[in-house]
Structure 1
Amino acid sequence: MNKHINKVAIIGSGIMGSGIACHFANIGVQVLLLDIVPRELNEKEKSKGLTMEDKAVRNRLVNDSLAAALKSKPSPIYHKQFAKRIVTGNLEDDIAKVSDVDWIIEVVVERLDIKKQVFENLEKHRTQGTLISSNTSGIPIQFMSEGRSDDFQAHFCGTHFFNPARYLKLFEIIPGPKTKPEVLDFLNGYGEKFLGKTAVVAKDTPAFIGNRIGIFSIMSLFHLVKELGMTVEEIDKLTGPVIGRPKSATFRTVDVVGLDTLVHVARGIHENCTDDERHNLFKLPGFIDTMVQNQWLGSKSGQGFYKKISGKDGKSEILTLDLDTMDYRSKKSAKFATLELTKTVDKVIDRFSILVDGKDKAGEFYRKSFGQIFAYVSHRIPEITDELYKIDDAMKAGFGWEHGPFQIWDAIGIEKGLEFIKSEGQQAADWVHQMLASGHKSFYTVKGGATYAYDIPSQSAKKVPGQDAFIILDNIRNSNEVFKNSGVVVEDLGDGILNVEFQSKMNTIGGDVIAGLNKAIDLAEKDFQGLVVGNQAANFSVGANIGMIFMMAVEQEYDELNLAIKLFQDTMMRMRYSAIPTISAPHGMTLGGGCELSLHADKVVAAAETYIGLVEFGVGVIPGGGGSKEMTLRASDTFRKNDVELNVLQEYFLTIGMAKVSTSAYEAYDLGVLQKGKDIVVVNKDRQIATAKAYAQLMAERGYTKPIPRKDVKVLGKQALGMFLVGTDSMEAGHYISEHDKKIANKLAYVMAGGDLSEASYVTEQYLLDLEREAFLSLCTERKTLERIQHMLKTGKPLRN
């Protein structure tokens, strides 16, 4: 199907509808967002003398919903300007406008009668061939299109986004009885390529794939918490980051999503899946019934499994629900010996075999919970899907799991997993035993850089489709390794392009990473055509190894620290002035030194979800790896005839001085960290390394020429320095900044002004680097800077002293 999506209509502007509208606006699509007309005037409208005929009244519901969404945190929109791509209206005055869109998405209340009525009205105005879909999370797709025309049914299906639509990647596509195969193929490709989603075609079964497995997992834990006599805190400790799941783990996640939402889906599965072998597990335990009756629904009602209160001293406290007494009490710490054994194991996938061998209650919990979910997912094939990898994809993309259940089962061992299943009084599906009997010892294998998953009908491993657009570093790391030390792995991506992948904790940049970067540039200049700096961890890099800086500063090893900072600077300059094109591929947290590396690459291919900035002020220093120099240079390049140059420079100064971090890659353009016309943004992070490689190839093929070091950076000298110093004085006098904040800001001012030159002058990059390094080192001699670094190392939070 050759189709272009230029304009979509979203019917229903609630939390989900507005979120979907914002995400289409994120990717440049025009959006028509419609909702019902209010039944009556509110008090504010009455006081203004408005009537039910006024447009502001008729569009009140949709406008209020969209405004609330745009104010929510985290934001559903990449950049506030993108909201202009959304036009609002109502279903009485504006429904005819759907004739002009390429795709209509219904997101109204989860009631079949209302949905069918909406579709009946839409069909009166819909143009033939227009895609139409429902965002239902559970109503059978086959029932919704009953009575509609053949063309409607041929272009109709379910397209289930997960909330929040910007951040959760799962995009379930559910065919109706008469949906054209080419419609499914188109939506599958569009979801992955343009929406940045993990698109999964599911069967039309209750709750589809993600919610069927996800709600089972949560309900299983609801029952286990009572069976094992555990607390809310203990379950959340065991089901959070230690096993590659969100920090909100289980009970906090339910509070955020809303207990009523979970109960609605669980009841739907219980009512509609009577043949499910674990049918009774979907019956709500007593404590959930009590919470629903008390309207303890989570964040939306002010209390759920957790409750925030203000103490007598004005400080807030988080209380926890005691599931035995159903009273709130102070939070208790949760500690397990088994978890201590995993602290030195960085890769989550390597922890599972340790966790299930635990001799304490944690080990027992993992054996039971994994045994239950392994059995359950095995029986869902072929009921909800024919392919096991789709279950893993759904759980990773929809629930934020780092690894899906079949991947975890592989990590533990299939035979061991079967033992856990048996211990729980359950049975795995027959196909698992048949798989083992046929000689297949794992669900997944990797061959030639591609992932293969076991295919049940053919009893063979088949290549997981859709990988051709991706480069999966986990799949090529061992076979394509060119160089490795404790900080990096350098891989051959093919076609003359190398990739350097950080391997340090949180991808911090220390001595081994710097050495690895230099080695990668050496290798690329000698035998290759280009270099990508990229990884597929949760974050690109949280910055320089401040622990190393702290130790050198405490020991007063200032010569060694000076050499270390100069090596960092020199390495960043090699990124800029190497003989081959260098591409940075940032994503997630890209802070401090990670940001500086991206500033010095020839090109940045950033994931849309990149939170990038120079945050060194938080630890009492200025950017010392070329960041202060580079922002001064970029300010100089931005100066235009008749500009008030001081104002331009001030914007770049404030970006560093306020430690600004973008909330998306698009915001990074505003900060001057990304450059329009040079750096690009990709919505699907899975495509990022492949896209970066393609740009490196293109630059090399077009005849890349090594840049010439800059000697024409315009600095403003005393004029700028005086302005900055007056500003920091007034900020301190107004108690907006501390004395030490002022000292750091003044050091930065000296660098970005180019020193106390008597007039505006042109200087070299090295001149600014020397100023920057001198300022950085002098701040490392300050007690309050060391206090800030130490506090960050201990707590992970900045100290304002």
Structure 2
Amino acid sequence: MSLVELIPTKQTDTKILDQLEGFLTSELGKNILYAKDEPGFVANRIGVFSIASCIYHAQRLSIGFDTVDALTGTKLKRPKSATFRTADLVGLDILKHVLDQFDQTLVDDPWHHYFKTPKWLDTLVEQHDLGEKTKCGIYKKENGEIKAYHVESQSYVKANYEIDSSVKSILKEDITKQISLLKANKHPHAQFLYSVIKDTCLYSAYHLQKIAHSCRDIDWALHWGFGWEVGIFEFWQANGVKQSLDLFLQDDQNISTPSWINDVPAFYTNEGAYAPADSVQIPYSNHVVYERQLYRPTLMGENSVEQGETIFENDSVRFFHENDGIAIFSLKTKLHTLNLEVINSLRKAIDIAEQDFKAMILWQNSAPFCAGANLYEIVAGAKLGMIEHQNLFTKVKKTAWQLLKPNLPSIEDLRPINEVIELLQQVLMALKYSKLPTIAAVEGLALGGGCEMLLHCNRRVAHTESYIGLVEIGVGLLPAGGGCKEMARRASKHKDIFPTLAQYFEQIGLAKVSESAKLAVEMGYLDENDVIVPQRLELLYFAKQQAQLMVSQHYRAKDPNQSFRIGGASAKANILAQLTNMRAGEFISEYDDLIAKKIADVIFGSELDANTKVDSQYLLDLEKKHFIELLKQDKTQDRIEHMLIKHKPLRN
């Protein structure tokens, strides 16, 4: 988690605090809150209370741990680990220790009784069943099956994550309706959620002035410290501050509330976040370090200004600028995947940028950078017989597909896959050899086509937590947007080409992904001229710095027809011998072996002699040829469908 809480005292030198805030923010990539010296500070005080409230109401309503986690995880816009899986990850001994500390120190807290350690927690800690670190806690895995602790029988039963259908529907509703809908629903699952939300809202409001400077501090603490997508005051305001308070008070007029709560129509306005100490809305910090965060994130209800001036926009991309001569290309697709509209838009953006701008940046406002190609379009094209061509019969099948699968994305504009591959190759080559500098600002996943996109930019600025790789083998394919070509070209810079090519082949063949930007340098996806940035919110700033530097140095891309050395047939033969051994040892499947041989054929330059010089197009043609051959195979189509449905690779 990125949260760091700073707790100043009367003796603290503010200059040192300012220096520390700047260092932690920019050099370590942290998000800073100033907290007051109270038990739990901000994040743990509210976050642990939310867990305590879940424990209290789960016991009151006889709801199991697995059901609580089904209710309080992603459906509530919180981490997948939810409540009790998070407790296992942290350690049940740690949870017990924190609850005991709050029980001992918060004796005047109106919710003090929530912090009493439940008997089941005492039992598990005494048994040294502490969670993940002992492989047994609230949950344990037995014979590949997840089991949850059952309090009454003190045994483990198969986890059941089913929740009431009416509650599931409420959690799919607009967030602005959820409090009232949950209160009106009498199912125990709904009453549990309503009670926990009500408790957390009222607890946060009651203690706000004592533990924090504004409601913003509590919400960001929950975002940055507990991984919530929506803070508690954000959620409350979205449901209506007064309307929700009236609902809460219907249950008990004697509920503890702060004196200021009746006078606040909104926690967040365009002026800032509510601070009860002075009854004002306060803005964000003006510390100089935040000048590098060109688009600081805001909370729901705060003033959020659209970035820059739009050049063009569609369902998949937005292309804009900020009157500084630098154009910015951003994806809007799910997981920022590449579809046909993205590819066409990138071609259009490059043309516009070359005429009207001095540099171009590929940047997303949030991770990931790009999770790869749109697999749905690929498998749809394969199933409809549109791998290499389309005809009248294909058009009929497309219409029938849409009628039979109305809930799936439209494929009306889908083109034959070989045409799309050729277009992608052309566009990425245009990106690489553009008349102006192109920079990729990378954060999070950059897989498959996303990796190929950054490889074809002239420079990369990457967040430390960038996970980069050519992973197409996982869906039965190989990189065909120039990924193999680009790795072969990079390897050719080394005097002894074979060890580097062998490394790159292994990375692609095993779908290896860098665990950090630093490791991506070792893997050849980033190079010595690229910049690694600890603070993700500074990515665009540093990308612009690189763009300005490259412009000032009159950067020009090299000749696209420039040739480079390849490993050749003899080097490929060495690799194929290793594959034979891996297949014999059953380290890879027969189909993995087939795909790997095609990858080797591309990256080593097929049957040409060692150190033969080729141009990019030679390897691009090999990529496309083998990609199409693989896509025609049932096993590849099975892998793609499995990934779309199960979200994990199929080994067939």
Q: So what's the TM-score if we normalise by structure 2?
A: 0.88
1:525 alignment partner AA: E
CA shift, 1:293, in A, is 3.7
**Structure 2 residue 147 is the aligned partner of structure 1 residue 319:** yes
The one-letter amino acid of 1:727's match is Q
Among 364, 371, 375, which residue is 1:535 paired with? 364
- Residues 280-337 of structure 1 show CA distances to partners (whole Å, capped at 9, x for unaligned) of 2222234333333443321233321102223xxxxx3221112343321111131343
> Is 1:496 aligned with 2:303?
no
> Match of 1:511, as an amino acid?
L
1:357 to 161, 181, 186: 181
Q: Which of 334, 338, 342 is the aligned partner of 2:162?
A: 334
Q: Secondary structure at the match of 1:590?
A: strand
Cα distance between partner residues in 2 of 1:758 and 1:192: 52
How many residues are aligned here?
A: 611
Deviation at 1:421, TM superposition (A): 3.1
Instruction: Answer whether contact 2:65 2:149 (CA < 8 A) is retained.
Output: yes
Q: CA deviation at 1:621?
A: 0.8
Is residue 244 from structure 1 mapped to residue 77 from structure 2 by the alignment?
Answer: yes
Deviates more, 1:465-474 or 1:654-663: 465-474
Tell me whether 1:522 sits opposite 2:351 in the alignment.
Answer: yes
Matched ranges for 1:615-654 at <5 A: 615-637=471-493, 639-640=494-495, 643=496, 645-654=497-506
- 1:581 is matched with which residue? 437
Paired with 2:643 and 2:377, the residues of 1 have a C-alpha distance of: 13
Matches within 5 A, 1:357-396: 357=181, 359=185, 361-396=188-223
User: Which digits, 9 at most, give the CA deviation of each residue in 1:577-633, with x for residues without a partner?
Assistant: 223322212222221111111111111111111111111111111111111111111
Contact 1:379 1:429 in 2 (8 A): yes
Q: Give the conservation status (yes or no) of the 8 Å contact 1:510–1:545.
A: yes
Cα deviation 1:366-388 (Å, max 9, x = unaligned): 33222211111112222112222
Q: Tell me how far apart the structure 1 counterparts of residues 230 and 359 of structure 2 sit (CA, whole Å).
A: 32
1:624-773 alignment, distance < 5 Å: 624-637=480-493, 639-640=494-495, 643=496, 645-676=497-528, 678-773=529-624
> Partner of 1:383: helix, strand, or coil?
helix
Identity %: 36
Is 2:268 the partner of 1:443?
yes
1:357 maps to amino acid? L
Moved more, 400-409 or 455-464: 455-464
- Residue 403 to residue 526, structure 1, CA distance change in 2 (3 Å): farther
Contact 1:338 1:355 in 2 (8 A): no
Q: CA deviation at 1:430?
A: 2.8
Going from structure 1 to structure 2, the CA distance change for 1:505 and 1:459 (only over 3 Å counts) comes to same
User: 629, 648, 651: which is aligned to 1:797?
Assistant: 648
- The residue aligned with 1:229 is 62
Aligned position for 1:568: 424
Say if 1:243 and 1:351, in contact at 8 Å, map to a contact too.
no
Distance 1:747 1:205 in 2: 62
TM (normalized to structure 1)?
0.72
Of the structure 1 ranges 234-243 and 421-430, higher mean CA displacement relative to structure 2 is found in: 421-430
- Whichever residue aligns with residue 403 of structure 1, its letter is V
Pair 1:267 & 2:123 matched: no
Aligned residue for 1:382, secondary structure, equals helix
- In the other structure, the counterpart of 1:400 is 227
Match of 1:432 in 2: 261
* Counterparts in 2 of 1:321 and 1:182: CA distance versus 1, 3 Å: same
Say if 2:283 is the partner of 1:463.
Answer: yes
1:389, distance to aligned residue in structure 2 (A): 1.6
How far does residue 693 in structure 1 lie from its aligned partner after superposition?
2.6
- Asked whether 1:203 is paired with 2:36, we answer yes
Please list the CA deviations of residues 350-409 of structure 1 after superposition, one character each: whole Å capped at 9, or x if unmatched. 646457635455544433222211111112222112222221222222112223222222
Q: Residue type matched to 1:587 in 2?
A: E
**Alignment root-mean-square deviation, CA:** 2.4
Q: Distance in 2 between matches of 1:541 and 1:225?
A: 40
The separation in 2 between residues aligned to 1:413 and 1:519, in whole angstroms, is 44
Contact 1:529 1:700 in 2 (8 A): yes
Name the CA shift for 1:230/1:482 in 2 (closer, same or farther; >3 Å).
Answer: farther
**Residue 306 (structure 2) aligns with:** 477
Q: Contact (CA 8 Å) 2:309, 2:320: kept in 1 or not? A: yes
Q: Structure 2: how far apart are the matches of 1:760 and 1:636? A: 9
**Residue 590 of structure 1 pairs with residue 446 of structure 2:** yes
After the TM superposition, which residues 52-201 of structure 1 pair with which residues of structure 2 at under 5 Å, given as runs?
Answer: 168-201=1-34
- Listed as ranges, the matches of 1:13-52 within 5 Å are none
Q: Which has the higher contact order (CA 8 A, sep 6+)?
A: 2
Q: CA 1:456/1:333 → structure 2, altered by over 3 Å: closer, same or farther?
A: closer
Aligned to 1:785: 636
How far 1:509 sits from its partner (Å)? 1.3
SS at match of 2:264: helix
Give the secondary-structure state (helix, strand or coil) at the position aligned to 2:68.
helix
One-letter amino acid matched to 1:443: Y
User: By how many angstroms is 1:254 displaced?
Assistant: 0.3
Deviation of residue 508 (structure 1)?
1.6
SS at match of 1:208: coil
